[in-house]
Chain A
Amino acid sequence: MIQQKPVETLLADDTSVEILLVEDSQSDAKLTLRSLFKSGLVNRIEHVKDGQAALDYLFCVGRYADRNPAFSPKMVLLDIKLPKVDGLQVLERIRSDPRTTNLPVVILTSSNQERDIARGYALRANSYIVKPVDFAQFADAVKNLGMYWLLINTPPSGRSRSVTATVSSPIND
């Protein structure tokens, strides 16, 4: 299946996406992307602006129908207050599907309401982060979580690592 597509295409899309960022606020998305890229930890982030687009991306349907379902981002950064399908519903769908049930999901939201926090953890969010209003703290939080989930944490299955190996070996040869 991997061999059916030229390596360039694979590298250009699915395989290299490390983080799926689900964020409807244009400014928060830009600041998050800037902090992550600045940290030098991340090369590719897919940014979607609503919950439906996030699900379409993860399950390769709709405008992402051509995406290769064998590749999954290493983590999802998920806002809660989202248009179309809200973040907690997205999380529920992620957890109830065997393909994504163990995918690391970090909630990054401005909501500090007890109800949202409890619901997030009940749906097995891997972490819940309230966006600090202070920009320096916000940038630090984003950088730290990028570092933790992309470098320190071991993902639930070796899939994403073996995929990287499969793709990179033809280039090295």
Chain B
Amino acid sequence: MEQRKGLSTLGQHRQTAGELAKCQSHVLRLSDELNAFLHSVSHDLGAPLRAIVGFSEALQEECGDRLGAAGLDYVGEIRAAGENMRLMLIGLTSLAQVGEGGIHPHLIDLSAIARELMVELLKRDTDRDVRAVVSPDIRAYADPDLIREAIAELLDNSWRFTSVRAKATIEFGCGPDGSVYVRDDGAGFDMRNQAQLFAPFKVLHAKEDLGGLGLGLALVSRIVHLHGGQVWARGEPGLGATFSFTLPSNEAP
């Protein structure tokens, strides 16, 4: 009796393992398909986009005198929309290409990267009064290029969302649970919208206000997941936001 029970448990394990393997290969195939789809979308939309912007320019240059002020304004809008779409395509392409060459993790000093990136931001925008706080010696196994990109996106995100403040603080640190975070006292967000934060092209604040195409956090999420980590956010409208991620502390995932 005991033996039979043991055997059936073993059988169940085998079955579960088999199903898991099936699911994994299914997920891998879907991910490949999604990437191929993103590639062809970003590629094939290029030609019509070039035509929209190109012929708008031709219209402005060759027929501008007959268009009148309103007509010229409309053509300007078409060109601006085309330019916006081009930037979105670039973002989409880079999202599809993230980690294409595989990830190559080594032990990285994340604090050093964050410090460099903060200095770049402070130099780029000297008008801003931002206190940048970087906790030292935060290390993790990660792909240096990819993790730099992820941290850059998070800092850039905080930089833009604190632009509403005369004085702001952006913090790069490590929580008691070992998660790495970027915290700011900027515009924040409503926790009810948390799920949308990491989806491509979801912008919770009007674009004209704070800039950004809504791809940065999608990129962060993708990079962290490629490393086998988790990413999440906490925030409150008007009080700021904290973006946290984990990276598996062992060697290569």
Write the residues of chain A forming the contact surface with B, with a CB cutoff of 8 angstroms: 25, 27-28, 30-31, 34, 110, 112, 131-135, 138-139
- 18 extra interchain contacts, Cβ-Cβ under 8 A, other than A131-B50, A135-B54? A25-B47, A27-B48, A27-B54, A27-B55, A28-B47, A31-B50, A31-B55, A110-B43, A110-B46, A112-B43, A132-B50, A133-B46, A133-B50, A133-B86, A134-B53, A135-B50, A135-B57, A138-B54
Q: Which of B55, B57, B58, B89 contacts A133 (CB 8 A)?
A: B89
Cβ–Cβ contact B47 & A139, under 8 A: no
Q: Which of B48, B50, B89 contacts A138 (CB 8 A)?
A: B50
A residues less than 8 Å from B46 (CB atoms): 110, 131, 133
Residues 21-80 of B contacting A (Cβ, < 8 Å)? 43, 46-51, 53-55, 57-58
Q: How far is the CB of A39 from chain B (nearest CB, A)?
A: 14
Closest to B49 in A: A133
Write the residues of chain B forming the contact surface with A, with a CB cutoff of 8 angstroms: 43, 46-51, 53-55, 57-58, 82, 86, 89
Cβ–Cβ contact A135 & B47, under 8 A: no
Closest to A133 in B: B46
Q: How far is the CB of B94 from chain A (nearest CB, A)?
A: 13
B residues less than 8 Å from A132 (CB atoms): 50
Assembled-state Cα–Cα distance A134/B47 (Å) = 10
Q: How far is the CB of B44 from chain A (nearest CB, A)?
A: 8
Chain B, interface SS category: helix
List the 3 closest A-B pairs by CB distance, nearest first: A27-B51, A133-B46, A135-B53
B residues less than 8 Å from A30 (CB atoms): 55
Assembled-state Cα–Cα distance A73/B55 (Å) = 28
Closest to B89 in A: A133
Assembled-state Cα–Cα distance A110/B54 (Å) = 16
Closest to A139 in B: B54
Cβ–Cβ contact B47 & A110, under 8 A: yes
Cβ–Cβ contact A27 & B47, under 8 A: yes
A residues less than 8 Å from B51 (CB atoms): 27-28, 31
B residues less than 8 Å from A112 (CB atoms): 43
Q: How far is the CB of A28 from chain B (nearest CB, A)?
A: 7
Cβ–Cβ contact B86 & A134, under 8 A: yes
Q: How far is the CB of B54 from chain A (nearest CB, A)?
A: 4
Q: How far is the CB of B81 from chain A (nearest CB, A)?
A: 13
Assembled-state Cα–Cα distance A132/B86 (Å) = 11
Q: How far is the CB of B80 from chain A (nearest CB, A)?
A: 13
Assembled-state Cα–Cα distance A27/B48 (Å) = 8
A residues less than 8 Å from B49 (CB atoms): 133
Assembled-state Cα–Cα distance A161/B47 (Å) = 36
Closest to A137 in B: B50
Assembled-state Cα–Cα distance A2/B48 (Å) = 44
Assembled-state Cα–Cα distance A156/B149 (Å) = 47
B residues less than 8 Å from A133 (CB atoms): 46, 49-50, 86, 89
A-B contact pairs, 25 of them (CB 8 A): A25-B47, A27-B48, A27-B54, A27-B55, A28-B50, A28-B51, A30-B55, A31-B54, A31-B55, A31-B58, A110-B46, A110-B47, A131-B47, A131-B50, A132-B50, A133-B50, A133-B86, A133-B89, A134-B50, A134-B86, A135-B50, A135-B53, A135-B82, A138-B50, A138-B54
